[in-house]
Structure formats: structure tokens, C-alpha cells
Chains A and B, each alone.
Chain A
């Protein structure tokens, strides 16, 4: 495929991209952090561009937040409101349902992604839907909704520019807020030429115009529009969605049916709590004072149908671990990704599922299970940059440590027979100087012998495929000290 730029390792990028995953039989095979056969990191297409963009966003974010004397107060207030929300989730969801139903909407509940997909398809069938325009939604990614639509023969197009590009390329988003961060303008030009037959251009304005023209037609012809939800106000039954492109406005107002997909933690008690969140979210998400559009959708617009699907999909499992509940405060701003040294280097696909970066390393194990994603919390240096910027003050490093504790005690890849044996051996070797010396001697010998082998089996082979075995250093410090210590004692 010509799409992947020369910077990339095409094979690696392509095996990952088009995977279809449901949580039912999730294999996370593309996820190098999780993949048993690959011990190291992975470089997606354009990781350099993505890394640089993340560095720029971080710098911009620091300038913006430093200039606001109330910033730390806002974070604390947002944290407190979200904590109250999580502690009263059942009551608030019922209140939200009652109030938005009174304003003409239909509320559906979904235990799993699969059930949410069934709801969407039933709505589509009822309204004889052939064409769908989609606003950006992380829940839709969780549901693999595009796949569901395709399987049902319904044409569904992402309309957020970044999501549209990723969909055209048959890939997955690499970032929560800017999904196509890994594609250069040239990549996009080639993609449009190849998939849409447009003349090649690498000029940002031309490319945006092509997308506008292509999607304008789709908006006008669509039978159904879908969107995510940033906040759902219990007190008034209002859906709050923020965006910049106008595609959410068009997706939710043009077609006769609007289906809003919300994670059940999105509810907020009262509408006067909203300003503090809007101030925080725009500034950390995109560096704006306010996004171009903040929609407060207030029940069904007369003449249009509104459905709201409230999705659990593993979220209530997070509640069962009181130490982990704060993960439900997340407002999906993407800032922890930008500041993360691991994300910057490894890119979004390395995390294997919908949510990348530090927050993904917390949410994914909760939502899909430690047995499948138990390795993710280990993909962090615990530097703490994420918790410094998090607008709702999620203590991400301690959450990661908490999950590491759980991962080694519960069924997970970090609690396999090999892992247990390795740590046992290590503990044995560390418990006495003679044992330690013996172990180190064995390691040195092992590395030397391995270098002589013509091929490397199993996991060792996976590790050495992309890297060289380390050079065995000179004599051990202990031996050196034995010979030279007298020089220092004079």
C-alpha cells in the first residue's frame, strides 16, 4: 500500500491496522505491549510527526494553563464534581433518562458493545436506514460500529476529518483527539487519489476542501446520524457535545434520526457544573479557549428522532474496585497521551485497543479484562507527567501501580508460569552473594552462547529480530574491585 510513508515499517503498520476486534474474542494481537512474542516497542507510521505534535501540544498546554491563575482550582472542582457523579451514578442516570425522555428522546441501555450494536441496527431497520453519517465517538470505536454497519450493508461514513482519513485508510485512530496524527499531508493526498480518484495534492487547504465536498453530499443524503456525548446533564436531560469542524452539528441536525452513544460515566448532575468542564476540556484538548461549537442538545428537535444509548461495556466492573473508581472521571481530553514519553515514542496503535496512552493503560485492562490486557499497566515509566496535566486529577501512576499489583495476582499475562518462574529465580539469585555471582556468570555465558547461535527460537527470536543482543561488558565490578581496591585504600 502506498499510503504508509517511507519513514515507516510498512509491514508492522499494516498488520495492525484493519483488525476487527470485539471484546468477546479480543486477541489484542497487534498490540506489541501485549503480544507475547514481542518484548519491545513498536514504531507506527509517522511516529516522528506524531511525537513532535505531542511535544508541541504539551508546550502549548503549559503556556495556556500557566496563564490562568484559577487553573488548579478548576482541576480540583472538576475532580470533586466527577467524584460526586461516580458515587451517585445510578441516581443520576435515572434522572437523566427521565428528563431527556420527557423531552422526546428514547433512551436505550446496553450492557455490552454487542448489545449497543444490536440497538443501533434495530433503530436503523425501523427507520429504513441506508446511509449513516457519524460524528466522532470513542464509544463507537469501542463498539466497532463501522464494522457492524458494513456487515449489515449500511453505508456509514466518519465525518470528523481525522476519523474519515483513518476510515478511508482502513486503519485505527492513533490519538483520542487527533485520530490521524500519524498521517502526513502527502499520505492524505495519496489516500484521496487512490480511494476517491481525486488529483493528488499535499496542500492542507485543498485536502480539506476535498473532504468537505465529498462529505457534504453524504450529510445531505444520510438517513441517520450518530454522535458521541461529552457530557449528559441529569437535571435538564441535555446532551453536550463539543467539536470544531461543524460535522457534529450537521450529523445531528441533517438526517431525520440522531443516535447519541454515551458511556455511562458521562453524566453530570447539574447544568451549572458545565462551564468549568468546558473551560478545562477545550484548553487541554486542543489549546482553545472554547471549541468552535459547543452543542447543548436539548431533547429531540421537533421533526427529528433522538435516541440515546447508554453503554456499560465493563464500566461497572471499575466500580467494584474502589481504588480504581477514579478512572471513571476521565473526560477523554487526550492530554495524558501528549505528555507521555512512552506514547510519544510508541504511538497509539501500540496499546492495542481503542484507548491509547496512559489513560488507555488503565481503562483497557478494566474494560476488556486483565487476562487480556494485563501487560498494559507495565508499559509506563511511571514518570507522573500524566497526572500533573490531567484536568480531573486522575492519579494515573498510582492507578498503574495498583493494576500492576492486581495483574501479578490475578489471571493475566503477567501471572503466567514463565513470569512466575522468572521472578522466583530472580528472587533466589538476589538472596545471597554466591547465588548472585553464579547467576551473573550464567547470564554472561548465556549471552555469549546466544550470539553464536545461527537462529534464535521463540521469544528470544522475536526480541532479537529488531535489535542486537547487548555486548557483554568487561569483567564484573566485583572482580575489578578485588584487583584494584588496594589503590583506593592507600
Chain B
């Protein structure tokens, strides 16, 4: 008998006394208040700042391009990495093609680690926690969230949800898709630790900076 069968059989024997029960209802967690877009933007900005993230608010994609160019120059990023998504293409189209390294298959992590910044696109933003939900279908897309010391996230205002339960339906649909592989990651501010004397330090293994470019 394999360990699998042995374990399952043991569980069944030990639980022979169980009575069939319906699964508990799905908790509401937070009430849905359906706030307006401006209120969501304000809440998101406040919460992300509280966890030491940054928000750049842009009225249009054109404005976003300008602000991104400023940021790249200010931060002296010679070359930035990006996942290959339409919204990222749109955002980066003004930059010199030499300045952008698009995530490609079989990209060596060593090479990715040298990028000073990486751009990813969020599926959803959560206002109550300042979180970005990012869907990654390849190892390179996943590493773009963790390897470069600065992480740029682009999202539209209409992708804001008030909190996790409100965004869950969309997440649930995607995770239920049998074709989906990879990772959904909720990123809430830069990487951090408090492992030494419970003193908070930003930027341990992941990014030190998280900048959300919010368009619309």
C-alpha cells in the first residue's frame, strides 16, 4: 500500500463518526459600500503610502508616459525591464527601444537581476490595503515582480476594487480557468522585514520601491 492510500485510509477510519454537513457559507468579510472612483483612488493612495509605496496619478496614458520618462530620468535608470502586455507597450512607446528590456522566454535570472527597475501590469488594485493583484503566466513575469530593486505597476482607475472580497469574483473566475498556470500575487508595498529586533527595514530580498502608475 502506498503512503497516499495509507494516509487516506487512516483519515477515513478515524473520521468514521462524522456526520455529513453542508459547507459553511462564504463569509462576506467586509460589507460592499461601492464607493466612487475618486474615493477609491484616495483610499488606495493613502493605504499604499502607509506601507511605504508610491502612487503616480495620471489623467491619461499620454500624461503617464511623460511622468514615467521623468521618473526614469530622475532615478537614473538606464534600462528598465517590462512584461509584454498591451498596456506596458502603450506606456513605454515613447522611450528609446534600447531603454526597454521586454520579458522574453528563457531569460536568465542573472540578467534580469541587473535591471534597476521592472514594469508589470496589475489586474486589480485593492483600495483598503493598497495592494496590487498581478497575474504572472511565466517565470519571467513572476521574477519581474521580485528581482529588480524598483517595481513599477501600471493600472487603470477602473481596475480599483474597495477590498479583497470585492475583487474576489474576478480573481475566482481566473483561478477557476483550467488553462491558467503560474501565479497570482498580491503585492502590498515594497518587500520588508522586522526579523531583527522587530525593527522595520524595507527592501530585503524583493524590491525596495513599489511605484504604482494609476491611469484614468
Contact = CB atoms under 8 A, between A and B. Distances in A.
Interface centre among B178, B186, B199 (most CB of A within 10 A): B186
B198 A56 contact: yes
Contacts of A276: 27, 29
Contacts of B139: 253-254, 301-304
B165 interface: yes
B26 A273 contact: yes
A270 B23 contact: yes
Interface centre among A180, A270, A290 (most CB of B within 10 A): A290
Contacts, number: 247
Interface in B173-199: 175-176, 178, 180-199
A73 B165 CA distance: 15
A278 to B, nearest CB: 7
A70 interface: yes
B206 A250 contact: yes
B15 A87 contact: yes
Contacts of A215: 205
Interface in A105-141: 109-111, 115
A115 B196 contact: no
Interface centre among A160, A185, A236 (most CB of B within 10 A): A236
A462 interface: no
A74 B29 contact: yes
B181 A165 contact: no
Interface in A62-96: 70, 73-74, 77, 80-81, 84, 87-90, 93-94
Contacts of A19: none
B3 A102 contact: no
B44 to A, nearest CB: 13
B85 interface: no
A453 B21 CA distance: 65
Nearest to A245: B204
Contacts of B14: 316, 319-320
Contact of B196 (A188, A250, A291): A188
Given A90-B15, A212-B205, 4 more contacts: A279-B164, A295-B185, A299-B181, A301-B183
Interface of A: 49, 53, 56-57, 70, 73-74, 77, 80-81, 84, 87-90, 93-94, 102-104, 109-111, 115, 159-162, 165, 178-181, 183-185, 188, 204-205, 207-208, 211-212, 215-216, 219-220, 233, 235-236, 238, 244-247, 249-250, 253-254, 264, 269-276, 278-279, 286, 288-304, 310, 312, 316, 319-320, 322
Which 3 residue pairs spanning A and B have beta carbons closest together?
A: A246-B206, A246-B191, A162-B195
Interface of B: 2-4, 6-8, 10-12, 14-15, 17-18, 21, 23-24, 26-27, 29-30, 47, 51, 105-106, 109-110, 113, 126, 128-129, 131, 136-139, 142-143, 145-147, 164-165, 168, 171-172, 175-176, 178, 180-199, 201, 203-207
